[in-house]
Amino acid sequence: NGEKVSERQDVIISKFNGQIELIEGVQHSEDIINEKLYFVELRANKNGEVVENMNLELLK
């Protein structure tokens, strides 16, 4: 299967006590969690495993 995975998913996470907790998210959600909105990019690698972009951005 030579298809390339190009889908992008925005996942909302919140920060509690310095730890990142993954919260089920929807694409381009505008929900505010603890007044801070974070997202991390998830994609599938060539083995079909989900990997995340380590560049976390804080959206204000």
Per-residue pLDDT, averaged over 12-18, amounts to 43
**Does residue 1 sit within a domain?**
no
pLDDT at 28 over 60: no
Per-residue pLDDT, averaged over 31-48, amounts to 52
How confident is residue 47, by pLDDT bands cut at 50, 70 and 90? confident
Of the chain, the percentage scoring pLDDT greater than 70 comes to 2
**Which residues have C-beta within 8 Å of that of residue 31, sequence separation ≥ 6?**
12, 37
Q: What's the pLDDT score for residue 48?
A: 65
Of the chain, the percentage scoring pLDDT greater than 90 comes to 0
Print the domain residue range for 24: 9-59
Q: How many domains are there within the chain? A: 1
Structural tokens at position 55: 């560049």
**Does residue 2 sit within a domain?**
no
Say how far apart CA 43 and CA 35 lie, in whole Å. 26
13 three-state secondary structure: strand
Using alpha carbons, select from 57, 32, 42 the residue that is nearest to residue 5. 42
